Every structure is written in C-alpha cells, then in structure tokens.
Chain A
Amino acid sequence: MQDILREMADVVRDPFAYGRKLKADTGKKIVGYVCTYAPEEIILAAGAHPLRLFGTTGTIERADAHLQSYCCSLVRGVLEEGLKGGTDFLDGMVFPHTCDSIQRLSDLWRMNVTHGFHLDAVLPVKLDTQSARQYMIGVLHRFKTDLERELDCKITDDNMSKAIRLMNENRRLLRRIYELRSDEPGLMTGDALYTVVKATMIMDRERVREALQKVVETMEAEKASAAASQGTVLKSVPTTKRLLMAGGICNQPQIHNMIEAAGGAVIWDDFCTGSRYFETLISTDKDPITAIVERFLQRAVCPAKHAGLRNRAEDLIRMVRERKVRGVIFLYLKFCDPHAFDYPYLKADLDQEGIPSLLLEVEDPLPAEGQLQTRFEAFLEML
C-alpha cells in the first residue's frame, strides 16, 4: 500500500507532469475540469481522460491581470496555470456551471487561454423540479455532441455504460476506504486519505481502480489482524477525537497533520474533494445520460445549487450521527460565497443539536502554521 500511496502523492504533487506523461505514453486525449459536476463518464466514454484542476501551487501573477483579489484562490490559480501554459497538454477544458466565480473563469479561459477546446456545461441551478431534470438531460446530450465534435469520435451508449461501471466501482472503493478509516482511524492518516481522493480525480481511472482495490485490501487485512491481536498493531489511540470536515475543496493536506497532532482525526467529510464526489452511484439499468443526470440530482449538493432549503444541514447532521463524530470543522476557501452564505444556518442547526463546530477560512497558501495549530488545539480541547 505504501507504494501506491507514494505513487498517488507524486501524482498529486505534480498533476501536470502526470498528465503529460499519460498523454505521451497512451496517446489519450486529456480533458481538464474544475468541479464534480463535470460528467466524467461522458469524457471517459469518448476514450479521453478527465483530469481535475485544483488551482496552482505556485504564485499568482498572470491571473492578477484578469481577476481581482476578491476572487478565490482556486479560480485565480486555475486561470494562472492556463495562462502560464502549465495546462498546455490539455486537449480541452469543460466548465460545468456552478458559482459566479467559476462562471466568469469559463469566460476568461475561453477568451485568454489559447490551447485546447473550451466547453461549457450550463447545468441548471435548481435540481428539484421535473423541468430542471429535463433540461439537464438536454445539457448533457449537447455536451456529448460537443465532445464528439471536438475529439472527433463517436460516444456510444455501450462505452458510456462501461465508463459508468468504472466510475461506480471507483466511487464504491473510495467510500470503502472512508468506512474502514471511520472504523479505525489509525489505518490511514488524513493527509494520505486526501491524497488518495485527489489522485482519483487526476490519474487514469483504470489505474485508480487497481490502486484503490489494493488500498482497500491492505486496509482490510490490517484491520483484521489488528482485531485478532486486539488492537495493538493500530496506530490510533482510543482517545482520538473524531471530526467531520465540511467545505468546498481541501487543498491543504497539512491541515490533517495539525489536527492529528492535536489529538483529532477527520473521519468523514462534506467536501467536493470527498464524500460529495463518491456518494451516490449511477444506476446501470437505464439510458446512460438519464442515469448520470439522476445521480447529479440525487447526490449531496454543492451550495451553489439548490435542492431544498434545509437539506445541507440535514445531511451534515446525519453524517455526524452516522459517523459518531464529536465536532465539525468548516474549512472554507476565502471568497467562496455559496459556502459562506450557508455557514450561519449550518452552524445554528449544529448548535441546536449540541454539535460543536469551528470555522476556518483559508486561502492558498495557508497562514503561518502556529496560528492554525493553536486553533485546532483549542477546539479539540473543548470537545
């Protein structure tokens, strides 16, 4: 398992190097995307490789000529890489419609980034009506046709069904890893877990399946042997304080080391780079596009979408109960409006249930380590 984790850590450290190599080795077309509402299955069915962008690890310079400082670091970072040419191996980009900032990112990419094709998938914002469902089916049909044109290929139902099965399997395995860790947090560090999650959105999806299978097997074996020797092999101590993290994306794996050093562990999450990616599988017994749409309508929503007035709080509380966590950490990207608007109500509902929470607003790069460490320690002490 350590080999696999190392492989994934390398991929996450330099996703573009990975993308270039994959392209050179396999000749696959590579399509970049920025959020989990991108229909990866359709990209896979086109024989192409979907690769998610997570902003930049470098400094932002070129994007400053296009985006104000009050735009989030994720959006600025993605544009920076596009302008700098870090993404020049991409054959194209797809922008599913979510928040106001991603919406403008799509325009700015189309107008300023010269490499690759550019596609929008203007999904509905409300997800709880029949006409929105019909509309989304139309959007994905258009996306499919657009992709066929751009990639000069034919996307068959058969290939879509295959891609759906592959993605379902990857999602199921990812969930299994979360569950095993939920049973025994010592099986994998939080840092490693989030490396695995991100890698599954970057790496070749067949390779992801193999890798996740190995990880699951290893974790299951470790868990079984630990049970046999009554827990002595396991690294975690019974006093570990179980936490849930909620927000947009987790781009700061070092946060987990801080939390673990303070005696806590993130057991579950409500993240776009987390449970929102793997929860809900796609039905395999109906028209593929309709099935993909239904998953988008049923899965836990990004706050930029609407599926009800209280569902996000209900989901959060349900996860807290199911996973027996003691507190929630809201990890928000600064200038992320949809999350920031939901925070007061989510917090109030958690308060009402007696669930303590902590809000952290971060930007890439993170502030000085000591500051965050102290906040985690204070929060964990309170639990």
Chain B
Amino acid sequence: MPENTEKTEKDKRKIKAVKKMKEIMTFYYIDAKTAAENNKKVAWITSGGPVEPLIAMDIIPVYPENHGAMIGASKMGVDLCEKAEAMGYASDLCSYARSDISCATVNGGPIGGLPKPDMLICCNNICGTVLKWYEIQARYFNVPLFIFDTPFCHTEYYEEMRRYVRSQVDEYIEYLEIATGRKLDRERMEEVGRLSVAGQRMWQAVLDTTVNKPAPMSAFDAFFHLALIVTLRGTHTAVDYYQELLDEMNERVKEGIGAVPNERYRLLWDNLPIWYRTKWLSEKFAAHDACLVADTYTSAWCGSLRYMDENDFLNSMAEGYTRIYLNIGVDEMARSVCDMVDKYEVDGLVIHSNRSCKPYSLGQYDIQRIVEEKKGIPSLMIEADMCDERMFSESQIETRIEAFIEMLTHRNRR
C-alpha cells in the first residue's frame, strides 16, 4: 500500500470527537483548579458516587479516580506508588489510592495535583478501599467527609436497604446545604437529574453502536470517552458531547468504518483498563484483527439505568447507585457478562485480573468458568494492575495474547 493511502486509512479511523473531548476536560480541570478564586467549592467524589446534587448546587466535583487514570496513562504511577510506599502504604494496596495519596503531598502527577477539596464525598458502591482512601484524605486536608453507604446486594435489594439509602439522600443534601450555606434549588435538581439520565442513555447508545460489524469504536476508545460520563454526569456538556460522538459513530457505521481495519475477532474486556498500556494492548489485538468491542467497565456508568427514573431522580437514584455492576454478587455479574457476550456477538473474553481492585477481580475465575460453559467461548486472563506498571510482565502477556489468538483462529477454522 502506498504511504499516503495508508495515512488516509489511518486518518479515516481517527475519532474526530477526541479533540473536543480533550478541550472539555482541559476546561473542566482549569475550572476546578481555579475554583477558589471564583468562590466555588470543590468536592472530591468517588467515581460511582451520586454527583448530581453537587452539580445542582454548583459545587465542582473532582474525581481522584479519574486523576488516577490520568496518572496511569501518563506512566507516572510507579513513581507515585513508590512515594506512597515510602509513606508506609503497602505495595498491595490499590494503585489509584497510592498514587492519589502521595500526589496530594507533592502536587505531582500530570496536572500538578488536584485542587484542594472543601469536602469529600465517598460512596462505597465500588469498593471498601474508597472508604479508607477518603478517610486518609479527610485527615490530610482536614475537611469533612460524607459517606454515602450503599449496602452490598449479594442477591437482593431489600426494603431496609432502600430505606437506609433513601434517608442518606436527604442527609447528603442537608450536608451540602450546610457546607455551602445555600438551599438546594429543587427545580434545578430535577433538571440535573434529567440530564444525568439523558447522559447515561446517550452513553449507552454510544456503546451500543459496537453491536455493528465492524464495530465503529473499541473498548480502548470507550476508556477514553468515558471521562465525561464520570466527571460531568448531569450536565448539558456531557449530553451534547455524547450526542456528537453518537452521530459520528452512526456515520462510521453507515460508511462501514471499523475501529480495527479487518475486524475478524470480537472480544469483550473485563475490569479496569491497564492505563499505561492501552495503546500497546490495542495495537497488539488490532495486529491480529481482533477488536475489543465492549467491556464491563465503561458500561458500569449506565448499567443501572433500569432503576433510575428521570422524573423522580432523587428517589430512584438511591436504588440506581446501590445496584451498580460492582455492588452485586459474582453470579449476577456473570449473568451480565453473558448478556454482553450475546448482545455484542463476542468471540472471546479478555479478563484483566487487576491486583488493585479486589471487588472487581476476586470472583473472576468463576465468571470465566461460567461464561466459558454457558457461552462456549474461550477466554484469556491477563495478570496486571491498572496503574502500577511494575505488575505488568510484557513478554508473558504477549505470549498469552498470541496463544489466545491462535486458539481463536483454530476455532474459526473448525
């Protein structure tokens, strides 16, 4: 292929919205970092936390986990993790937490540290780690901590859970009203709730475009475009952006443009990305005509839409935030993976066994077995860590990917 044709080929595959996304995120971080000068309050909040009341009260939400992902992607994780270890944190602890905790003390990382929080909002629907992490930051910054406690739903969401979480919605709002000295504007809250649901629906629609063959985007693209549904959920910005991205994806579907040039194998990714190796992994798989068409991670931000009611947001968000993907039993997670295998017509499962994330990773062997049995597809397990590159063994992983692709090829021939 002549060089210029190759270049246009590659350009054709580039997602145009990326540029806008980068602008939005830059603007968002500038806004957050200058919050104090603009008399705005900053709340640090967990990625699965109920952000909508913050937006409605004009408090700027900042996400240490998004920061962790940025640290990982810019390959600054090892340095910051080592700093945390020197502070006494065990090397087995979550690498987001380690990075963020040490980063706060040195204002390091890709954006020179996060803006100082005025308050901390910790929702434990994703893990128990965030509780410890936020306690540490509450002591370090000497700011109040609100814990939004979402009981784990092993098998069910019981009536007493519903009452408990619902009462915390009121406690949360009261906490914010005291912190800001302002009353929550209920109308504004309703609007933010509607925008949140609209944003989640739009994000789901974007992810759904990969049911097409070839898939117009891959999970690696989703890892990138995810940032807004996490950080700006409940705003027009997120809804508008995802509308634009959706239009672009639909256009690509119409033109038959795939994320991977000759999509042959369609794979499903489980667990958080390996942030410092997304490009490497993406190219590895693409080189074998394999596209990771969907993942369990980015879909978690729209996975509990069925419990949310846009016209009764505050009441319904209690259940929506409690029954998210990670706050449910391993068997229900396996069912959800099986559904995704069917929906996206997947040929194989790629599982990231992530040392940093026990609630996501412990149980993966069972999920793997269930999916293999029920769906008859092969799977690959990659042992690594989302941010701590020391846990990544390139040669071993490369060998395993190749063996996995070989198996897929073999099955394909049969």
Q: Does A67 contact B (CB under 8 A)?
A: yes
Per-position 1/0 for A122-164, Cβ under 8 A of B? 1011100101101100110110000000000000000000000
Given contacts A124-B149, A129-B171, A340-B89, contact A138 B163 (CB under 8 A): yes
Q: Please state if A337 and B164 are interface contacts (CB–CB under 8 Å).
A: no
Q: Please state if A343 and B128 are interface contacts (CB–CB under 8 Å).
A: no
Shortest C-beta distance, A319 to chain B (Å), equals: 20
Q: How many A-B residue pairs have CB under 8 A?
A: 147
Residues in B whose Cβ lies below 8 Å from that of A337: 92-94, 128-129, 132, 358
Residues in B whose Cβ lies below 8 Å from that of A135: 151, 160-161, 163-164
Residues in A whose Cβ lies below 8 Å from that of B331: 107, 110-111
Q: Does B168 contact A (CB under 8 A)?
A: yes
Q: Does A65 contact B (CB under 8 A)?
A: yes
Q: Does A347 contact B (CB under 8 A)?
A: yes
Q: Please state if A139 and B93 are interface contacts (CB–CB under 8 Å).
A: no
- In A199-253, the 8 Å CB interface with B consists of none
A141 to B160 CA separation, bound complex (whole angstroms): 10
Q: Does A106 contact B (CB under 8 A)?
A: yes
Q: Please state if B164 and A134 are interface contacts (CB–CB under 8 Å).
A: yes
A343 to B91 CA separation, bound complex (whole angstroms): 13
Given contacts A68-B353, A131-B168, A135-B161, contact A108 B363 (CB under 8 A): yes
Among the listed stretches B135-143, B179-187, B238-246, which one makes contact with chain A, having 4 or more residues with CB under 8 Å of it? B135-143
Per-position 1/0 for A103-117, Cβ under 8 A of B? 111111011100000
A204 to B183 CA separation, bound complex (whole angstroms): 57
Per-position 1/0 for B119-157, Cβ under 8 A of A? 000001001110111011011000001010101111100
Residues in B whose Cβ lies below 8 Å from that of A338: 128, 132
Interface residues on B, range: 35 or more
Given contacts A107-B154, A142-B160, contact A131 B171 (CB under 8 A): yes
Q: Does B25 contact A (CB under 8 A)?
A: no
Shortest C-beta distance, A82 to chain B (Å), equals: 14
Chain A: CB-nearest residue to B98? A341
Shortest C-beta distance, B367 to chain A (Å), equals: 10
Chain B: CB-nearest residue to A101? B358
Q: Please state if A309 and B139 are interface contacts (CB–CB under 8 Å).
A: yes
Q: Please state if A120 and B154 are interface contacts (CB–CB under 8 Å).
A: yes
A334 to B91 CA separation, bound complex (whole angstroms): 10
Q: Please state if B366 and A68 are interface contacts (CB–CB under 8 Å).
A: no
A111 to B362 CA separation, bound complex (whole angstroms): 13
Q: Please state if B362 and A138 are interface contacts (CB–CB under 8 Å).
A: no
Residues in A whose Cβ lies below 8 Å from that of B154: 103, 106-107, 110, 120, 122
Q: Does A10 contact B (CB under 8 A)?
A: no
Q: Does A7 contact B (CB under 8 A)?
A: no
Given contacts A67-B365, A103-B359, A337-B94, contact A125 B147 (CB under 8 A): yes
Q: Does B87 contact A (CB under 8 A)?
A: yes
A200 to B89 CA separation, bound complex (whole angstroms): 34
Q: Please state if B366 and A112 are interface contacts (CB–CB under 8 Å).
A: yes
Q: Please state if B135 and A100 are interface contacts (CB–CB under 8 Å).
A: no
A135 to B150 CA separation, bound complex (whole angstroms): 11
A226 to B28 CA separation, bound complex (whole angstroms): 73
Residues in B whose Cβ lies below 8 Å from that of A100: 127-129, 358-359, 362
A334 to B359 CA separation, bound complex (whole angstroms): 17
Interface centre among B127, B330, B358, by most chain A C-beta atoms within 10 angstroms, is B358
Tell me whether chain A's interface is mostly helix, strand or loop, or mixed: helix
Q: Please state if A124 and B158 are interface contacts (CB–CB under 8 Å).
A: no
A342 to B135 CA separation, bound complex (whole angstroms): 9
Interface centre among A310, A341, A347, by most chain B C-beta atoms within 10 angstroms, is A341
Q: Please state if A340 and B353 are interface contacts (CB–CB under 8 Å).
A: no
Chain A: CB-nearest residue to B364? A68
- In A359-373, the 8 Å CB interface with B consists of 361
Chain B: CB-nearest residue to A95? B154
Q: Please state if B171 and A342 are interface contacts (CB–CB under 8 Å).
A: no
Q: Please state if A304 and B128 are interface contacts (CB–CB under 8 Å).
A: yes
Q: Please state if A97 and B151 are interface contacts (CB–CB under 8 Å).
A: yes
Residues in A whose Cβ lies below 8 Å from that of B139: 309-310, 345
Residues in B whose Cβ lies below 8 Å from that of A361: 90
Q: Please state if A340 and B128 are interface contacts (CB–CB under 8 Å).
A: no
Q: Does A335 contact B (CB under 8 A)?
A: yes
Q: Please state if A66 and B366 are interface contacts (CB–CB under 8 Å).
A: yes
Contact of B147 among A138, A306, A334, A345 (CB under 8 A): A306
Q: Please state if B363 and A334 are interface contacts (CB–CB under 8 Å).
A: no
Given contacts A104-B359, A341-B93, A341-B132, contact A97 B152 (CB under 8 A): yes
Residues in A whose Cβ lies below 8 Å from that of B127: 100
Given contacts A108-B330, A122-B154, A131-B171, contact A343 B90 (CB under 8 A): yes
Q: Does B282 contact A (CB under 8 A)?
A: no
Q: Does B237 contact A (CB under 8 A)?
A: no
Q: Does A47 contact B (CB under 8 A)?
A: no
Q: Please state if B161 and A70 are interface contacts (CB–CB under 8 Å).
A: no
A135 to B166 CA separation, bound complex (whole angstroms): 11
Residues in A whose Cβ lies below 8 Å from that of B133: 341
Extra inter-chain contacts (15) besides given A101-B358, A108-B363, CB under 8 Å: A67-B362, A68-B365, A100-B358, A110-B331, A111-B366, A124-B151, A129-B171, A132-B149, A134-B164, A303-B132, A306-B147, A337-B92, A337-B129, A338-B132, A341-B89
The interface of chain B, by Cβ under 8 A from chain A, is 87-90, 92-94, 97, 124, 127-129, 131-133, 135-136, 138-139, 145, 147, 149, 151-155, 158-161, 163-164, 167-168, 171, 329-331, 353, 355, 358-359, 361-366, 383
A-B CB contact pairs (8 Å), 8 listed: A67-B365, A101-B358, A104-B363, A107-B330, A110-B155, A124-B151, A141-B160, A337-B92
The interface of chain A, by Cβ under 8 A from chain B, is 65-68, 70-71, 97, 99-101, 103-108, 110-112, 120, 122, 124-126, 129, 131-132, 134-135, 138-139, 141-142, 303-304, 306, 309-310, 334-335, 337-338, 340-345, 347, 361
